[in-house]
A and B are shown apart, each in its own frame.
Chain A
Amino acid sequence: GENVEQHPSTLSVQEGDSAVIKCTYSDSASNYFPWYKQELGKRPQLIIDIRSNVGEKKDQRIAVTLNKTAKHFSLHITETQPEDSAVYFCAASKSGGYNKLIFGAGTRLAVHP
């Protein structure tokens, strides 16, 4: 079945620095790749997603890149702020009906002022 690996498990940066989280997926048929942010005690919330017909997508300080050949996708956060501190999850699924999202293990990002 589909497997999603995520690295690093923890990431500590200084405010203003960039943060990069990387994921790899196993099922080449996967074509939908969302990223979720989960703050302590809260629900996972979608922050950005990308589909396999696109190589890069950007939304203000957040960008996601996808390399279908290598089955890699990455989340890039620029100019990090303390409020970016949270656990970030990548996920992958095949569209065509039902989103069986398979999640990575999560990255705990800490942004220090």
Chain B
Amino acid sequence: DTAVSQTPKYLVTQMGNDKSIKCEQNLGHDTMYWYKQDSKKFLKIMFSYNNKELIINETVPNRFSPKSPDKAHLNLHINSLELGDSAVYFCASSQEGNTIYFGEGSWLTVV
């Protein structure tokens, strides 16, 4: 059983489209995250939710909107996709400041 699962794994879409990436964790963790990894492999936090509440919101364009329907799910919706949004998006979770576990990643390519 995958602890942190995200879908889709691969996504190719045109500029201007709107797309969503879904994430679910079955670890019982109370905190979930979205990280972005660019082409140079740099990992940067985007958002974090604790028990469905937004607690970290880094400098991210407002075209990116996270949604957490419950503490086991954190989805990422991206409006008006741009070429620069192409990256790998990792969902992750942790419990109270302990180890962060990453999902498999979602490879987004905007053409």
Contact call B31/A99, Cβ cutoff below 8 A: yes
Q: Which residue of B lies closest to A94 (CB)?
A: B97
Nearest-CB distance from B80 to chain A (Å)?
27
Bound CA–CA A42/B41 (angstroms): 12
> Any chain A CB within 8 A of the CB of B66?
no
B6 nearest CB across to chain A (Å): 10
Which of B40, B56, B99, B105 interacts with A98 by CB under 8 Å? Answer: B56
The answer to whether A101 and B45 touch (CB under 8 A), given A43-B90, A43-B105, A44-B90, is: yes
A39 to chain B, nearest CB (A): 12
Is there contact, CB below 8 Å, between A87 and B41? yes
Interface window among A11-19, A20-28, A67-75, A102-110: A102-110
Residues of A within 8 A of B99 (CB): 34, 46, 49
Interface residues contributed by chain A, number (CB under 8 Å): 23
Evaluate contact between B45 and A102: CB separation under 8 angstroms: yes
Is the beta-carbon distance between B98 and A44 smaller than 8 angstroms? no
Q: From residue 46 to 100 of chain B, which have CB atoms closer than 8 A to chain A?
A: 48, 50, 55-56, 90, 94, 96-100
Minimum C-beta distance from A78 to chain B (A): 23
> In the complex the two chains form, is A44's CB within 8 Å of B43's CB?
yes
Q: How large is the interface on B (under 10, 10 to 19, 20 to 34, 35 or more residues)?
A: 20 to 34
Write the nearest CB–CB distance from A103 to chain B, whole angstroms.
4
Q: Write the nearest CB–CB distance from A110 to chain B, whole angstroms.
A: 14
Confirm or deny: A97 has a beta carbon within 8 angstroms of a beta carbon on chain B: yes
On whether the beta carbons of B50 and A98 are closer than 8 Å, the reply is yes
Additional pairs, 10, CB under 8 Å, beyond known A46-B101, A98-B48, A100-B56: A34-B99, A42-B104, A43-B102, A43-B103, A44-B90, A87-B41, A96-B97, A97-B96, A101-B45, A105-B41
20 contacts between A and B (CB under 8 A): A38-B41, A43-B102, A46-B99, A46-B100, A46-B101, A87-B41, A93-B97, A95-B97, A97-B50, A97-B97, A98-B50, A98-B56, A98-B97, A99-B31, A99-B97, A100-B45, A102-B45, A103-B43, A103-B44, A105-B42
